[in-house]
Amino acid sequence: MFDPSSTLFPPIAPSRHGMLAVDDVHTIYWEEVGNPNGIPVIFLHGGPGAGLSPQHRRFFDPEQYRVILFDQRGAGKSTPLGECRNNTTQLLIDDIEKLRVMCGIEQWLVFGGSWGSTLALAYGQAHPEHCLGFVLRGVFLCTKAEIDWFLDGARWFHPEVHAEFVEPIPQAERGDLLQAYVKRIMSDDPAVHWPAVRAWSRFEGRRVFLLPQAEDPPSDALDLGVGRLESHYMANLGFFSDEQLINNIDRIAHLPVVIVQGRYDVICPPVSAWRLHQAWPGAVLKMIPDAGHGAMEKGISRALVAATEQFKRHRGFA
């Protein structure tokens, strides 16, 4: 039962979990929570590379939803951690389909935030026949403009954070911070790649919330997953053609969607959510006036739970 005084459902343990070998390199961790006869939903985490948290299970009524969650290639409990070989958006889409078939699900609600929203759109456009609808947070369309903002726009709002990120890079390489970091992050030398992945992860993590938060303890798994996979996907523009996710919106435009966006999100600025809303007839946009990028900011988590509650009642968001 949902506690109205909280923004999330109570903590819940997986009813099933396991490892699925998806090719000769990667094995992905998956888990299931909730009612095995409930509305199926696939949860797509952010990053790329950020992995799952137990909090992610709590956006859904466990009496009404059957929730499938997984660590994407190279992230969390999936192995090998931080591996960029055989790691593309199309292969992640294939993994989602393998999970759907393994679980015997015909159609499911697709729920994703940040990079998870990117992957949700890409998956939906590849397999619209298997989607019931979408809940998207902190929209990221993986365009060059958004990637440039992520790396260089930070100096306009967090100049001290940006300065700390730039400081280890020689002056001659600062004209292309992405490639400068990719070179270091992908180095085989731990003395080179560990400082780089930690700097990348810290650069992002310090800008997630609107209001200052206590910093989480350092996590090698998070730093390596986020540092390696984010830089890998950004360097390849998400393996998308120019404006692919907007240009192909007609493939899913008949499906319901709610978009939850923090007004002061400096990781994935609101213009992307607005563009998606404008391109998608019938899309519901919830602009949260007192939030940044974090899924666990109260206004955002409350809106996400409200969306899943509305969907279970009406199979839509209108």
The residue ranges of every structural domain in the chain are 16-142+241-314, 144-238
Residue 302 pLDDT more than 90?
yes
Q: What is the pLDDT of residue 314?
A: 83
Structure tokens at 295: 């899924």
- In Å, the largest CA–CA distance within the chain is 58
DSSP letters for 112-164: EETHHHHHHHHHHHH-GGGEEEEEEES-----HHHHHIIIIIHHHH-HHHHHH
Q: What is the pLDDT of residue 5?
A: 44
**How do residues 175-184 score in pLDDT, each as one tens digit?**
999 999 999 9
Q: What is the pLDDT of residue 212?
A: 78
**How do residues 241-279 score in pLDDT, each as one tens digit?**
999 999 999 999 999 999 999 999 999 999 999 999 999
Structure tokens at 161: 């954070």
Residue 86 pLDDT more than 60?
yes
Banded model confidence at residue 6, pLDDT cuts 50, 70, 90: low
Stretch among 126-135, 159-168, 206-215 having the lowest mean pLDDT: 206-215
Q: Per-residue pLDDT averaged across 92-97, rounded?
A: 98
Catalytic residue list? 114, 265, 293
Q: What is the pLDDT of residue 318?
A: 61
Query: Considering the chain, what percentage of its residues have pLDDT values greater than 70?
Result: 97
Distance between CA atoms of residues 55 and 65, nearest Å: 16
Distance between CA atoms of residues 211 and 90, nearest Å: 36
Please state, rounded to an integer, the average pLDDT across all residues of the chain.
95
Beta strand pairing call for 284-288 and 257-262: parallel
Q: What is the pLDDT of residue 214?
A: 76
Q: Per-residue pLDDT averaged across 131-156, rounded?
A: 96
Q: What is the pLDDT of residue 317?
A: 63
Instruction: Of 159, 163, 58, 142, give the one whose Cα is nearest residue 92.
Output: 142
Instruction: Of 151, 125, 137, 143, give the one whose Cα is nearest residue 270.
Output: 137
Whole-prediction pTM:
0.96
Q: What is the pLDDT of residue 4?
A: 44
Distance between CA atoms of residues 95 and 76, nearest Å: 15
User: Quick check: 49 and 101 in contact, CB under 8 A?
Assistant: no
Tell which wins on pLDDT, 313 or 39.
39
Q: What is the pLDDT of residue 3?
A: 47
Distance between CA atoms of residues 37 and 32, nearest Å: 12
Distance between CA atoms of residues 162 and 317, nearest Å: 38
Q: What is the pLDDT of residue 2?
A: 44
Q: Per-residue pLDDT averaged across 129-135, rounded?
A: 98
Q: Per-residue pLDDT averaged across 222-241, rounded?
A: 97
Q: What is the pLDDT of residue 48?
A: 97
Banded model confidence at residue 1, pLDDT cuts 50, 70, 90: very low
Instruction: Of 110, 111, 106, give the one whose Cα is nearest residue 129.
Output: 106
Query: Considering the chain, what percentage of its residues have pLDDT values greater than 90?
Result: 92
| Superfamily per CATH, domain 16-142+241-314 | Alpha/Beta hydrolase fold, catalytic domain (3.40.50.1820)
Instruction: Of 255, 223, 233, give the one whose Cα is nearest residue 140.
Output: 233
Banded model confidence at residue 194, pLDDT cuts 50, 70, 90: very high
Q: What is the pLDDT of residue 7?
A: 85
Residue 170 pLDDT more than 70?
yes
